[in-house]
A and B are shown apart, each in its own frame.
Chain A
Amino acid sequence: MVDTPYDITITELMNTFQGCLRSLVPWLEKMHIPWKDGLAYDDFENIAEALYNNIVCATLEGEVATDYNIARYDLQYSDYTGIDHLRIIGEPDQHNCHSIFLGFTTDQLPFDTVKVAVADNDGRTVSYQVIAADDLEYEYVRSVNGSVEYVTMVRL
């Protein structure tokens, strides 16, 4: 098979990552590896982070990132200044804040929600929220020489 380069949106990338996590659920259950929020320990943590690094970060890094400086999966930062991250596309809220992707969580179905950090215009985290994952769109926010770029599509 010949690999043909094609473009993929960051949203599709994140949906792929979400799909990977979901597809693992039966196998995780079979292997008695806890995956639900709160119950998941090192095993699932390692799996999720490995998928995130290899599906999301490696794609972004290989395509556009100058250095591997993307916010780590599920790690809460107090300040996103200078740290590349994935942001939920949408209008800022009444406090002029944006939502930054932290990780997928589970409400009704596996990984059907997203935990986000709500950060102000200066990149400082003000609160955390869990929102429904459906219909969310993402963009990759990266710092290049002090200025901020917003990437919505990368080439595979």
Chain B
Amino acid sequence: MDTQYIGEHLGPGQLGHFFVILSFAGALFSAFSYFRAANTETSDRQGSSAWLLMGRNGFVIHTAAVLGIFFTLYYIIANHLFEYHYAWKHSDLSLSPKYLLSCFWEGQEGSFLLWSFWHSVLGLVVMFTARNMESRVMAIIALVQVALATMLLGFYLGPDINIGSSPFLLLRDKMVDAPIFSQPNYMEFIKDGNGLNILLQNYWMVIHPPVLFLGFSATLIPFAYAIAALWKGDYKQWIRPTWIWSLFAGAALGTGIMMGGAWAYESLTFGGYWAWDPVENASLVPWLTLVAALHTLIVFKVTGRAYIITAILFVLTYGLVWYSTFLTRTGVLGDTSVHAFTGEGASLYWHLLIVIGVLMVISIALLAKRWKGLPRVKAEEQVSSREFWMFIGSFVLFLSAVQIIISTSIPVWAPLAKWISGKEIAPPVDPVAHYNNIQVWVAIVLALLSAAVLYLRFKTTDIKVFWRRITIVTAIAIVVTLVIGFAQKISTLQYVILLFTSCFAIVATINYAVSIQKMKLMKLGASLTHLGFGLSLLGILLSSYNKEVISYNTTGVIIPYGEDKMENIRESMQNVILYKGITVPIGEYDVTYLGDSISANDPRTFYKVYYQRRDSVTGQVKEAFTLYPDAFVNPKGQEGGMSANPDSKHYLTKDVFTYVTSVIDPAKREDTNAYKKHVVKIGDTVFVNRGYVVFRGFTTEVNNPNYAPEPGDIAVTAQLSLRSLGGDSMNVAPIYYIRKNFEHYIEDTIADKRTYVRLSKILPEQNAAELMIRQPDEDYIVMKAILFPYINVLWLGIVVMVCGFFISMVNRITKKEKAAKPY
């Protein structure tokens, strides 16, 4: 007999399942109808119109169903219906309402739902704007929606074989074997959910994933137009809408990637905004190929050249979006990514591969079918033409994408390589160096091209005029480079070159905008985008090259960070211990840890760190501010141990980036009455509260009022120097003596620090002493502070670049041009 469970709310789940099925059916119906409409548009106009109408209705129903899924899931999460696996796994009672949406993108189902949502919205826009291309383009979009809808179906064909995963699965259906579900009243025991990964509880994480997914989704539209063009052999009409949609996708994806960098900078503690993490790379690569495709599309529009490569790049871009999902969601990357995505099972692995395979097969088949009739122009390649160098730039972008995706995919293809060659191939140990070594040169070439190309004309250029203009710009760029280079002490060759090319890009694009485009806003799209690119490169260079750790540990104490001794030493040098109330100099600041604070519904502990900057002559405080880095112990997710969020003081020309690297785990506070043993040799240090003790040696001179010598005594004093973090120094002299074959100790006390030092043993064979030290467990944090100079140049650059994309897009939309005629 079936168990009658008590306290479950099955209604929302059933409604959700209905919407899932409806979404799938609506997409399928729409795709079929649009396909029929496209296929009969010349042979049977009336029939085609009828099919078109059905296609529209199907897509609207599909969109409504996607919205239905979205709101039903939101209802389940917001009302804490923990009988549903998704709500239980990704939320809890303490979750702030502003982070409810973040639950969607923590899980696989929510991510696909978000993706499907954006496709639907963009599909509706295409439906109203594509005019006579609607049936072909929408057929492709609806077909992709069918594929996405299958991701949420949740049809179980066997214990380990399923088609998609439903977000409305009950907890008891997901964890069938758990004993708790043998009880009808199991809901009484499920008091709370698992909770959202704390790293996602950040405002950037509320807006970064939707924008990023909007960018991913927007790449579908150029793809759909490209496929539609191939399908019907119509290579003219697709150019303008594809151009506009590519600009939109580039802007959205670029903004999403920037937000990811900003989130990483504000929330992660690797000390930067880009770590070449596979998940970051997976979002960057489609953007690179999209930008390459956009440029070759322009070349095609203006000269009729480069159609084939343009079509391939658009197909590749969308394929890479799916491949990114494959990399990040199936767990194939293993532990090479810091992101908390784990393997979602073999079914998703094959499911995604099949979808990617189908998309690629359709694209290649159409390309092959139309190959002979594809537009080709026997125009002469003019080395002095703009299109030639735009093509070279696109090719460099493509090569850059290839290098990144091949390296990122090592865990995917390494087993195959091992099977073929017998050699083990591992991901790069130092990914930053691995990628930077190549991508710096890519950036150099692109910076040069992005600026120089503006001074070339399409078709052909008067090379004398070009050189005259570019020489002036180059001269200015050299002066700017020298000024910045000397001021920032940039001397490494490749970075000097990068500095020059960045300055060149900035100066050249500004000059182009002012002197050639006369600052006409609607024409500034390209120059603004290229200016933003130059500024971004300059910002990356300045903030990375002179990134400086200012929290130098001058105590000489090695802080244990892990097993690796060298890592301990390196990290110890870059972290300071801040005792509550004790001011420590860090860079140009005097820094004081003032204490911690927690709030009721937040697992994090916030540490109040007070910074003061004083006048070096008068000693007066010139500036004071407080930062609140936070940390939490044993968070959910793969990180384990302590997880910290930084806090930064933002200046116009620099950021002071602060985060805690170690705190006292309340569960591991030591017994303050216990002595701790330390074996020290001469010169060794022992870290104590608010300072450290240096062992200088032994002496037989014993001067202590508590010691009254007797005949036969053997007495030794340990010579210790205590140095406080404030710089004070004092001597400590515990005594060890043997009287009548019994060991005796006279402790020395550092009273104000409530620290007791005992010389408990002399180890002559090791020439060492055994010290027993007792001290109160004081409140402290270990903190790292990094100075990022000119990081705002980077943020400014990205904002300018995205603005350029949008201006170009608006310019394209508002331009009342006739259908493009490429030849």
Q: Which A residues fall within an 8 A CB radius of B?
A: 32, 34, 37-43, 45, 53, 57, 68-69, 72, 74-81, 83, 125
Contact = CB atoms under 8 A, between A and B. Distances in A.
A78 B462 contact: no
Contacts of A80: 378
Contacts of B615: none
A154 to B, nearest CB: 19
Given A41-B516, A45-B457, A57-B821, 16 more contacts: A32-B518, A37-B462, A38-B461, A39-B462, A39-B465, A41-B457, A42-B458, A42-B523, A72-B303, A72-B459, A75-B379, A76-B379, A76-B380, A76-B459, A77-B378, A81-B378
Interface in B418-462: 457-462
A76 B378 contact: no
A83 B378 contact: yes
A75 B378 CA distance: 10
B96 interface: no
A51 to B, nearest CB: 13
5 contacts: A34-B516, A38-B464, A76-B379, A76-B382, A79-B378
Contacts of A39: 462, 465
Contacts of A78: 378-380
Nearest to A40: B457
A32 B532 CA distance: 26
Nearest to B460: A76
A72 B460 CA distance: 13
Contacts of B465: 38-39
Interface centre among A41, A76, A125 (most CB of B within 10 A): A41
Majority secondary structure of chain B interface residues (helix, strand, loop or mixed): loop
A53 B819 CA distance: 12
B377 interface: yes
A28 to B, nearest CB: 13
B156 interface: no
Given A69-B823, A72-B303, A75-B303, A38 B378 contact: no
B462 A38 contact: yes
Contacts of A76: 379-380, 382, 459-460
A57 B821 CA distance: 11
| Interface size range of chain B in the complex | 20 to 34
B349 to A, nearest CB: 48
B304 interface: yes
A45 B459 CA distance: 10
Closest 5 CB pairs of A and B: A38-B462, A38-B465, A79-B378, A78-B380, A76-B380
Contacts of A68: 821, 823
A74 B821 contact: no
Nearest to B520: A43
Contacts of B382: 76
A77 B518 contact: no
Contacts of A72: 303-304, 459, 823
Contacts of B303: 72, 75
Contacts of A57: 821
A61 to B, nearest CB: 9
B458 A45 contact: yes
A86 to B, nearest CB: 15
A32 B382 CA distance: 28
A38 B459 CA distance: 12
Nearest to B377: A77
B452 to A, nearest CB: 14
B720 to A, nearest CB: 78
Interface string B451-482: 00000011111101100000000000000000
Contacts of B379: 75-78
Nearest to A70: B823
B474 to A, nearest CB: 18
Contacts of A69: 823
Nearest to A83: B378
A79 B377 CA distance: 9
B378 A74 contact: no
Interface centre among B304, B460, B461 (most CB of A within 10 A): B460
Contacts of A38: 461-462, 464-465
Nearest to B304: A72
Contacts of B516: 34, 41
Contacts of A74: 459-460
B459 A75 contact: yes
Nearest to A69: B823
A67 to B, nearest CB: 9
A17 to B, nearest CB: 17
A31 B349 CA distance: 60
Contacts of A53: 821
Interface in B794-823: 821, 823
B380 A125 contact: yes
A32 B459 CA distance: 22
A40 B462 CA distance: 10
Contacts of A125: 380
Contacts of B464: 38
A80 B459 CA distance: 16
B290 to A, nearest CB: 23
A72 B377 CA distance: 10
Nearest to A123: B378
A47 to B, nearest CB: 13
Interface in B373-416: 377-380, 382
A45 B283 CA distance: 36
Interface string B517-534: 010000100000000000
Nearest to B822: A72
Contacts of B459: 72, 74-76
Interface centre among A68, A75, A78 (most CB of B within 10 A): A75
A32 B689 CA distance: 74
A128 B536 CA distance: 42
Contacts of A81: 378
A124 to B, nearest CB: 9
Interface centre among A38, A45, A77 (most CB of B within 10 A): A38
Nearest to A54: B818
Nearest to B458: A45
Contacts of B380: 76-78, 125
Contacts of A41: 457, 516
B523 to A, nearest CB: 8
B343 to A, nearest CB: 51
B301 to A, nearest CB: 11
Contacts of B461: 38
Nearest to A115: B460
Contacts of B462: 37-39
Contacts of B821: 53, 57, 68
B127 to A, nearest CB: 29
Contacts of A32: 518
A53 B823 CA distance: 10
A59 to B, nearest CB: 14
A127 to B, nearest CB: 11
B389 to A, nearest CB: 15
Nearest to A57: B821
A74 B302 CA distance: 11
Contacts of A42: 457-458, 523
A8 B772 CA distance: 110
A69 B821 CA distance: 9
A37 B516 CA distance: 14
A70 B380 CA distance: 16
Contacts of A79: 378
B135 to A, nearest CB: 23
A108 to B, nearest CB: 17
Interface string B38-56: 0000000000000000000
Nearest to A124: B378
Nearest to B462: A38
Contacts of B378: 77-81, 83
A152 to B, nearest CB: 24
A78 B382 CA distance: 10
A83 B457 CA distance: 23
B208 to A, nearest CB: 35
A57 B457 CA distance: 22
B459 to A, nearest CB: 5
